[in-house]
């Protein structure tokens, strides 16, 4: 089969096109493009079918597992190439995101950093600040461990630019919250409120871990594709993993009571709500109850009892 | 229905643009006459009311972008309007010590000429559907000089106000408090100044691009 590879501006990327045999898959095509262009390894490539000029529709993205015959009607095929930029593994992205808060937070707790902000006198450390340190570090340590040993990623790689964007987000928020919780003029909440807060945080972190285990098993039971999440809190909420994450931060904030912490929680909840709405919509569309497909059950999206 | 909506939109934007146009015309006129009669120290006191009204009316521009009745994206409108409001309310209005500075006069001249041209340009476009070509040229050329003078005046005023920000502690929140939060207006001003460093050349480059697009159109058509 003759395959022409063009860029989005219509330039021919591989001069003279590529000749592949009839049983070749999209992955084979990507390998062939890599061989000829040298710099564009498969995960950097996004291949789509060309759209008629002026069309506003989204182009069909070629699935690397499928055969080229699924996309071509005859002996020729034209694909549109887009360079996605330098790619990194998802686990690399997550590791660097979470390492920042894990390292920065203890610096505020242990080091005499507040002397540089003009607070000369000795700091008296409240119990709430010590528990907060354990709670925070456990949270990010857990996330890193889950990244390497629990999560199965639906996409193998992410653009390198996301590493900088996400690290800026996590590291700045982490340092900002740590600054207030460990501040020499920090005002702790009452004993009961602190205990309730940390208990909620711990409970949610354990539940969150269990949610991640369930999601992992969902992916492993069948080779890829979407499935209806079931079991534990997933029987009530589509994205129980986000629910427990949000309530975890609520617990941390009840116990430590900083405005910065609440701001972070609201921003994080907004981002996760976006993802959750998309996932919920996708699952409902996929499992519509027609032609023998199961019907997606009625569930909360992310934040019972609100959404 | 679509027809009614689009005519209401046009009437509204025409009124809006010409109203704000007259506000800036007043700012320009008062600035010039005050400069002639009593010098730059008196400029702020004379222009305060029309300045605050005309500049605060720009808040509606953010709303226009958000609602989608104008084409410019909110990401372009927001930083421009926000920096202007910051200088107007956050510096000039809040710190009377800075109001007699020479930069107030150069700022008023730069802002008012830019805005007189800009609002009349959009006023023409909304009312008549087109703008005279000389106005188009002015709209995309005066910024070449008025942006640098305007931005220099803005930065100069913020910089010169810094000692007063620090001294008075105005708008700053100190710990300890129940929310475990603090805010330092002085350091925020330093942060704002830092944003001008990449922001100004970016905006200038953006306008150069707009100029190229707007002034080269007749040739390609």
Could you report the per-residue pLDDT of A190-222, keeping only the tens digit for each? 999 999 999 999 999 999 999 999 999 887 755
C-alpha to C-alpha distance for A246 and A257, rounded to whole angstroms: 15
B182 lies within 8 A of chain A by CB: yes
**Contact across the interface for A258 and B180, Cβ inside 8 Å:** yes
What digits encode the pLDDT tens for the residues B78-105? Answer: 988 999 999 999 999 999 999 999 999 9
Chain A nearest-CA distance from B182, in A, is 8
User: Given its phi and psi angles, is residue B25 left (phi above 0), alpha (psi -120 to 50 degrees) or beta?
Assistant: alpha
B-chain residues near A258 (CB < 8 A): 179-181
Nearest chain B Cα to A119, which residue? Answer: B175
A-chain residues near B175 (CB < 8 A): 180, 183, 185-187
Q: Which of A180, A181, A252, A263 to mutate to test the interface with B (most CBs of B within 10 A)?
A: A180
Average pLDDT over residues B16-33: 97
A270 lies within 8 A of chain B by CB: no
What digits encode the pLDDT tens for the residues A70-121? Answer: 887 777 888 899 999 899 999 999 999 999 999 999 999 999 999 998 898 8
A-chain residues near B176 (CB < 8 A): 185-187
Chain A nearest-CA distance from B67, in A, is 21
* Choice between A230 and A10, residue whose per-residue pLDDT is larger: A230
Highest mean pLDDT among A7-21, A217-231, B165-179: B165-179
Chain A nearest-CA distance from B178, in A, is 6
What digits encode the pLDDT tens for the residues B109-129? Answer: 999 999 999 999 999 999 998
How many helices and strands, by DSSP H and E, does chain B display?
8, 0
Q: Are A20 and A32 in contact (CB under 8 A)?
A: yes
Average pLDDT over residues A263-289: 94
Chain B nearest-CA distance from A182, in A, is 10
Residues with Cβ < 8 Å from A11, sequence gap 6 or more?
Answer: none
Confidence at residue B221, expressed as pLDDT on a 0 to 100 scale: 41
Confidence at residue B220, expressed as pLDDT on a 0 to 100 scale: 44
Complex ipTM, two decimals? 0.78
Residue A226 has pLDDT above 70, yes or no: yes
Average pLDDT over residues B184-213: 94
Confidence at residue A223, expressed as pLDDT on a 0 to 100 scale: 53
Q: Would you state the structure tokens that stand for residue A18, as one six-digit string?
A: 């590529």
Q: Would you state the structure tokens that stand for residue B165, as one six-digit string?
A: 């920000």
Record the pTM.
Answer: 0.84
Catalytic residues of B: 147, 154
Confidence at residue A289, expressed as pLDDT on a 0 to 100 scale: 85
A-chain residues near B180 (CB < 8 A): 180-181, 183, 186-187, 256-260
Confidence at residue B217, expressed as pLDDT on a 0 to 100 scale: 63
Nearest chain B Cα to A180, which residue? Answer: B180
Residue B218 has pLDDT above 70, yes or no: no
Residues 142-201 of A with CB under 8 A from B: 180-181, 183, 185-187
Average pLDDT over residues A53-79: 82
Confidence at residue A222, expressed as pLDDT on a 0 to 100 scale: 55
Distances (CA, A) of B213 to A148, B121, B204, B208: 50, 16, 14, 9
Percent of chain A with pLDDT over 90: 61
Average pLDDT over residues B180-202: 95
Comparing CA positions, the residue from A226, A58, A209 lying closest to residue A144 is: A209
Beta strands in chain A (DSSP E): 2-7, 18-19, 45-48, 76-83, 87-89, 157-159
Residue A250 has pLDDT above 70, yes or no: yes
Assign B112 to helix, strand or coil: helix
Confidence at residue A19, expressed as pLDDT on a 0 to 100 scale: 85
Nearest chain A Cα to B177, which residue? Answer: A187
Q: How many residues does chain A have?
A: 307
- pLDDT band for position B2 (cuts 50, 70, 90): low
B3 lies within 8 A of chain A by CB: no
Q: Say which of A181, A185, A259 has its CB closest to residue B179.
A: A259
* Choice between A163 and A53, residue whose per-residue pLDDT is larger: A163
**Contact across the interface for B175 and A185, Cβ inside 8 Å:** yes
Confidence at residue A225, expressed as pLDDT on a 0 to 100 scale: 66
Residue A305 has pLDDT above 90, yes or no: no
- pLDDT band for position A140 (cuts 50, 70, 90): very high
């Amino acid at each position: 089969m003759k395959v022409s590879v063009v860029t989005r501006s219509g330039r021919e990327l591989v001069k003279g096109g590529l000749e592949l045999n009839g049983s070749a898959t999209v992955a084979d095509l990507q390998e062939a493009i890599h061989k000829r262009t040298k710099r564009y390894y498969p995960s950097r490539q996004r291949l789509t079918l060309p759209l008629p000029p002026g069309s506003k529709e989204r182009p069909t993205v070629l699935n690397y597992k499928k055969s080229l015959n699924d996309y071509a009607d005859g002996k020729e095929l034209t694909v549109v190439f887009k360079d996605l930029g330098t790619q990194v593994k998802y686990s690399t992205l997550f590791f660097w995101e979470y390492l920042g808060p894990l390292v920065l937070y203890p610096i505020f707790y242990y080091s005499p950093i507040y002397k540089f902000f003009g607070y000369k006198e000795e700091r008296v450390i409240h119990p709430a600040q010590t528990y907060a340190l354990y709670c925070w570090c456990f949270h990010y340590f857990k996330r890193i461990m889950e990244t390497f040993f629990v999560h199965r990623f639906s996409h193998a790689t992410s653009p390198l630019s996301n590493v900088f964007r996400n690290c800026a987000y996590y590291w700045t928020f982490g340092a900002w919250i740590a600054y207030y919780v460990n501040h020499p003029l920090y005002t702790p909440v009452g004993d009961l409120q602190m205990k309730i807060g940390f208990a909620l945080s711990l409970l949610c972190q354990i539940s969150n871990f269990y949610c991640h285990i369930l999601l992992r098993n969902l992916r492993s039971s069948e080779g890829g594709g979407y499935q209806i999440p079931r079991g534990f809190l997933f029987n009530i909420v589509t994205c129980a993993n986000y629910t427990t994450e949000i309530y975890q931060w609520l617990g941390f904030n009840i116990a430590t009571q900083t405005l910065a912490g609440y701001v972070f929680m609201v921003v994080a909840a907004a981002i996760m709500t976006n993802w959750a709405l998309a996932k919920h919509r996708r699952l409902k569309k996929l499992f519509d109850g027609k032609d023998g497909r199961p019907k997606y059950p009625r569930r909360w999206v992310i934040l019972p009892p609100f959404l | 229905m679509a027809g009614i909506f689009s005519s209401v939109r046009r009437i509204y934007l025409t009124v809006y643009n010409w109203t704000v146009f007259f506000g800036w015309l007043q700012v320009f006129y008062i600035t010039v006459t005050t400069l002639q009669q009593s010098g730059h120290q008196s400029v702020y006191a004379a222009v305060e009311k029309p300045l605050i009204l005309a500049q605060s009316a720009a808040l509606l521009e953010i709303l226009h972008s958000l609602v989608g009745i104008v084409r410019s994206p909110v990401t372009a409108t927001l930083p421009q309007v926000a920096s202007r409001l910051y200088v107007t309310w956050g510096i000039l209005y809040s710190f009377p010590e800075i109001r007699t500075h020479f930069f107030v006069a150069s700022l008023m001249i730069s802002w008012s000429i830019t805005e007189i041209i800009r609002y009349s340009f959009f006023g023409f476009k909304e009312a008549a559907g087109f703008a005279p070509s000389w106005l188009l040229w002015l709209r995309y050329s005066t910024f070449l000089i008025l942006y640098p003078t305007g931005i220099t005046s803005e930065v100069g005023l913020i910089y010169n106000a810094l000692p007063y920000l620090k001294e008075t502690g105005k708008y700053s929140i100190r710990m300890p408090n129940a929310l475990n939060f603090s805010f330092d207006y002085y350091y925020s001003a330093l942060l704002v100044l830092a944003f001008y460093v990449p922001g100004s050349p970016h905006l200038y480059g953006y306008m150069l691009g707009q100029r190229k697009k707007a002034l080269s159109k007749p040739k390609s058509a």
